[in-house]
Chains A and B, each alone.
Chain A
Amino acid sequence: MSRTVIKVENLGKQYRLGQVGSRTLSNDLSSWWHRVRGNEDPNLKLGEVNDRTKKGESNLVWVLKNINFEVVQGEVMGIIGKNGAGKSTLLKILSKVTSPTLGSVKIKGRIASLLEVGTGFHPDLSGRENVFLNGAILGMSKQEIRNKFDEIVEFSGVDRYIDTPVKRYSSGMYVRLAFGVAAHLEPEILIVDEVLAVGDAEFQKKCLGKMKDVSEQGRTVLFVSHNIDAINSLCSRTICLKQGEIEFIGTTNEAVNKYLANDTVSLNINDFRIKSLKHLGKQVKIISIEKLSEDGFFVFGRPLRYRIKVVSTEHQNDLRVLFGIYSTRETIVALSYPELSFELRAGVVKTIEFSVNSNSNLTPDSYLTSIGIIQGNLLGKYQNMDIIMSYSAFDLLPPGGEDLNSNMMNWRKVWGNIALEGAITKIE
């Protein structure tokens, strides 16, 4: 059996919410005083499970709690979880950027993290100078960088601009050069967080390829992403984090299923996407979204069914539901617009169930959604009342068994998200 290279035991991390102010000094003093007398720190007892949707009693929360896992050499371990589940904090502790409140991490071998590429790039320095500086920040010696310099420049494809200050670079070139440095780091353990979100499609492919290479060379990779596709194709095992605790750890398939399954959300929170549309949700508010599916999945060929709860501060009529479907790259794929209108009485919660039938054309893949309430007619005059973006994303599974359509499984990879029905009308 391969040897363990990362061992995380009982790891916990506590954060203080809100403003760091005068109270910190008194808390610090009381922590210190209890430590001096050998008592348990009262501030460590406080704190609760990190559920950002609920208002807590205390302003101390555990963003990570009771984290235990081991990673063996050569393994590509994925980490998934919703925003705020503690993924990034976990990586930050592993890469020594911040320290844990409890527990321990033991690591064997050189570790390097790509929490964000281009760290420490100085805009006034040339590409060449930045490669050296950035390489050194990431832990390479000057000699190592010199040996790999040509490779890095070639990988990033900015040969012509290498002696130009990076502030003149396009953002794409900047990222490519930065990732080039990081990709040639060759540590024994590589920590990657969402770097694939940047760059064009071609470059993303290059990055994924590079990560595959790294893992094939027997090195260990920890990979955090929202991109279920990337996790699926790269990782053998995956951790699913939920509110700071490990919900599941095991094969990637099972972890992804767990991640996508529990998907009923109450929405009394200030999500940034909603906040950016300030006038929305003032009079009419969607307060919960529930996916009507036993195990959290939808299956190709069957309707997508949702139940939402809506409330209004004053009487409203002529309201309609909008249901948008987006690809995981956040481009819109389709929009559904059930034409039946409804009305809301002030303060009375209405439950609405709707289903989208046209999904026989939607191909199996992971999708994001937007659910909105409008007043008026979409094709005429209308006003947005509330929109909830990206909650209740769903996976559309290919039909099981020996169904004729089971080749739909492969559809998305090549042919897009909509399977258009077509018919030959004439052959001569």
Chain B
Amino acid sequence: MQTENHADWDIEIIPQNKWSDIDLTAVWKYRDLVMLMVRRDFVSVYRQTVLGPIWFFIQPLITTLTFTIIFGEIAHIGTDGMPSFLFYLTGITLWSYFSECLTKTSNTFVANANVFGKVYFPRLVVPISVLISNLIRLGIQMMLFLVVWFFYLAHTTVVHPHYELMWLFPFLIIMMAGLGFGFGMLVSSLTTKYRDLTFLLSFGVQLMMYASPIVYPLSSVPSKYKIFIQLNPVSSVIETFKNLFLGGGNLEWIYLLYSFMFMVVLVFLAIVIFTRVEKSFMDTV
């Protein structure tokens, strides 16, 4: 065989990981796969259920009802003067998007080991499809939220939405998506080798919920603890969301900016680590 000069190899497989390995264009090439996976997630969950997509509504409704009774009626935790049902529903709707993104992406490697072990496609496709299918879920749950919200808007006088700030809403969703995705990918990358994190995750998410202003308004937090709640990057997103729709809560730009920066760094870090792990995880999983 002649020693030809092949400068133009299509694929080069080498052991070292480089920064340039992060290949988002590859994910774009596989966009059909992303959409098919979203569809799979959606369809397969509700096959053979009687109520089908109605489950999307039942879950937040029952959680909200439980919170209303336990935290509102029994524990008498304040809600900044908001109707407690609406107050809890607001927090739960946004929080469940975050927590679903986190928990579903966090087992990306372990749950897909079977497929990943046999075929190569950009592994990022999986967590991205999780983000999108949860976004659709959020969309459906937002409809529920809006119905309840309209009801209180029309029948009470305590709800004072900040319509002029509504442009922030998409950013809030992006931040929640980014945070859930980032944390989830970090966990999923690290659990391939160190399974300890799976134990931490389930109650970690629960603890994080209590460290976010969901069942209580930030204003009711004693000042010596307040800073810890505000360091939680999820807090300012939820506070702002409540501020936009309910009028209660505080919009503190500095913390919103902090959360945004936190999210950007987290996502970047997560993608870097994820890309490193995806090359060798079959040997360690």
Using a CB–CB cutoff of 8 Å, the interface residues on chain A facing chain B are 1, 3-4, 7, 15-16, 20, 24-25, 70, 72, 92-111, 113, 115-116, 119-120, 122, 124-125, 129, 132-133, 136-139, 141-142, 165
Contacts and interface: CB of A to CB of B under 8 A. Distances in A.
25 contacts: A3-B4, A4-B4, A7-B6, A16-B283, A96-B13, A98-B283, A99-B280, A100-B13, A102-B15, A103-B15, A104-B14, A105-B13, A106-B6, A107-B11, A108-B6, A108-B10, A110-B10, A113-B118, A119-B115, A129-B39, A129-B40, A136-B32, A137-B121, A138-B119, A165-B47
B14 A100 contact: yes
Name the 10 nearest CB pairs between A and B, nearest first. A96-B120, A136-B33, A99-B279, A105-B13, A107-B11, A106-B9, A115-B118, A142-B32, A98-B282, A124-B44
A17 to B, nearest CB: 11
B36 interface: yes
B13 A97 contact: no
B48 interface: yes
Contacts of B119: 95, 97, 113, 115, 119-120, 137-138
Contact of A129 (B9, B11, B43, B114): B43
A127 B284 CA distance: 33
Interface string B11-40: 111110000000000000010110111011
Contact of B118 (A94, A116, A133, A165): A116
A100 B15 contact: yes
Contacts of A119: 114-115, 118-119
B141 to A, nearest CB: 23
A138 B115 CA distance: 10
Contacts, number: 120
A208 to B, nearest CB: 21
Contact of A108 (B9, B32, B33, B48): B9
A7 to B, nearest CB: 7
A425 B13 CA distance: 69
Given A97-B120, A100-B15, A103-B15, 9 more contacts: A1-B2, A95-B119, A99-B13, A99-B15, A104-B13, A106-B9, A107-B13, A125-B47, A141-B32
A98 B11 CA distance: 14
B36 A136 contact: yes
A282 to B, nearest CB: 35
Contact of A20 (B36, B43, B115, B193): B193
